[in-house]
Amino acid sequence: MLTCRDLIDVIDEYLDGRLPAAEISALERHLAGCEACRAYLATYRRTRALGARAGRVEMPDEMRARLRLFLRERIG
């Protein structure tokens, strides 16, 4: 069973189409029942789109890891 924390860990792969089919199914089942994760996904998509339009440089791996840890701690 996929948790909110699991979703945070794989959201980039999901949006980039790099997540295996079995994991996509689990993620989408979780999204169907979790309003908070649906909101997070929508916000994450918008943020990525805005970043792409601004021509930003890719977030460094260390910063991405710190952001994921921060979000996991807050979501619970």
For the chain, which residues make up each domain, given as ranges? 4-75
pTM of the complete model: 0.68
Q: What is the pLDDT of residue 56?
A: 62
CA distances from 55 to 18, 30, 40, 41, 48 (A): 22, 32, 22, 21, 11
Q: pLDDT tens, position by position, for the chain (76 residues)?
A: 889 999 999 999 999 999 999 999 999 999 999 999 999 999 999 988 887 777 666 788 999 899 889 888 888 6
Residue 35, exposed/middle/buried by CB under 10 A (0-12, 13-18, 19+)? exposed
Structure tokens at 36: 């908070």
